Structure 1
Amino acid sequence: MGNREDLLTGAKRCLIEKGYTGTTARDVATAAGTSLAAIGYHFRTTKALLNEALIEAMAEWGEELGRALAEDTGATATPEQRFEATWERIIESFARLRPLWAIQFELIAQMDRLPELRAAFATANHQARIGLAEVFHRVDPAADEPTALALGAFHQALLGGLAAQYLVDPEVAPSAAELTRALRIVADEFRAGQG
């Protein structure tokens, strides 16, 4: 690896260990085994390096989550069984990916001061919504993008809320079975209201 790649690897490690706002140029240079000047040479600023490292880390996280969600629950699985099995895999990923979730929440609080990351997050949100609609509902976004975005936004809201609860207290965060039960109750209430 060259200095640039070493810096990105070191920055990702620092992001996981220290968070975005807690990471300094010296931290990254030490983790990468490079000089402070290498940051300026390759990225101009520490902020630019951290932003690129974060975007790479989020892409890697997205790929890992995508692989976990792509696991087939079987052709005979009902939509309810698919929902619960997929949420089980998502919840399992929270423990492995806890630092990346923590960084995302840290950055959401800082978003007004980080316009370049706001744009990256907005793009990632759009892609996440499409992907979640495909996983949970097998919706073809090319055929019906508004429906895919609406369904994906619903699951994204569940994902963000569940992640926040998991970060605060994993022992009391809802399980996949509890989410499924709650969704069933809501659906029953909607059906009863139509009668």
Structure 2
Amino acid sequence: MGHREDLLEGAKRCLLEKGFVRTTARDIVKESGTNLASIGYHYGSKDKLLADAYVSLVEGVSDAFDAGERATTGTEPGSVERFQEVWSNVISTMRQPGSLWHLSMEIVVMGDRLPEVRDHLARAQREGARGIIPMFMGGMEEDVPDETVDTLGKFYMTLMMGLIAQWTFDPPSATTADELTAGLRRVIEAASKSQEA
């Protein structure tokens, strides 16, 4: 690996151990075996490096629950059963000690203090919204139109952020995939009755 990759891997380890705010440039250098000048050269700033490291960590976790979804019993894309299955896979990543999702809440709270980082992560979140849709609906990420990202993708990301907040704040009372699915069934039932009336 070169310095760029070493820095990214070191920053990922620092984020998981110390979080965003408490990680210093010196921590990253020590963890990566590089030097301070490498951060500016390869990433521009420590905060940009940490933002890239965070995105890389999220991609790794999303690969894990996406792989779990592909390994399921073959539920129908777009079905309520698929909805429950995918959220069950996602929530399983939130149950793990030292979950990356705790770090997500730290970043949400401090976003206004680091507008450059916030803007970078907002762009990544939009692509996350595009990437989450195929897990529920089938198809390929590159085929998801912007209008679907702005509706269905944002719907799923809103549920994700709510779950992250709940699982970070109080795991014993946080919503389960079964409860989330039961709520969805009630919404569908109420909407069906409304259309019949």
TM-score, length basis structure 2: 0.81
Consecutive unaligned residues in structure 1, runs of 5 or more: none
Residue 177 (structure 1) aligns with: 178
User: Does 2:182 align with 1:165?
Assistant: no
CA distance in 1, matches of 2:41, 2:139: 45
- Shift in Å at residue 74 of structure 1? 1.5
Deviates more, 1:148-157 or 1:77-86: 77-86
Residue 134 (structure 2) aligns with: 134
Aligned partner letter, 1:112: D
- Shift in Å at residue 188 of structure 1? 1.4
Q: 1:155 to 1:44 in 2, by over 3 A?
A: closer
User: Does 2:72 align with 1:64?
Assistant: no
Once the two structures are superposed, the pairs formed by residues 96-111 of structure 1 within 5 Å of their partners are 96=96, 98-111=98-111
Q: 1:157 to 1:51 in 2, by over 3 A?
A: closer
- Shift in Å at residue 7 of structure 1? 2.5
Aligned residues: 195
- Shift in Å at residue 134 of structure 1? 2.0
Deviates more, 1:78-87 or 1:54-63: 54-63
1:79-121 per-position Cα deviation (integer Å, ceiling 9, x unaligned): 1221111111111111348542122221222222323322322
Deviates more, 1:149-158 or 1:136-145: 136-145
Q: 1:39 to 1:125 in 2, by over 3 A?
A: closer
Residue 79 (structure 1) aligns with: 79
CA distance in 2, matches of 1:90, 1:47: 27
TM-score, length basis structure 1: 0.82
- Shift in Å at residue 48 of structure 1? 3.5
Q: 1:78 to 1:7 in 2, by over 3 A?
A: closer
Q: 1:193 to 1:17 in 2, by over 3 A?
A: same
Residue 192 (structure 1) aligns with: 193
User: Does 2:113 align with 1:113?
Assistant: yes
SS of residue matched to 1:156: helix
Q: Is the 8 A contact 2:85 2:177 kept in 1?
A: yes
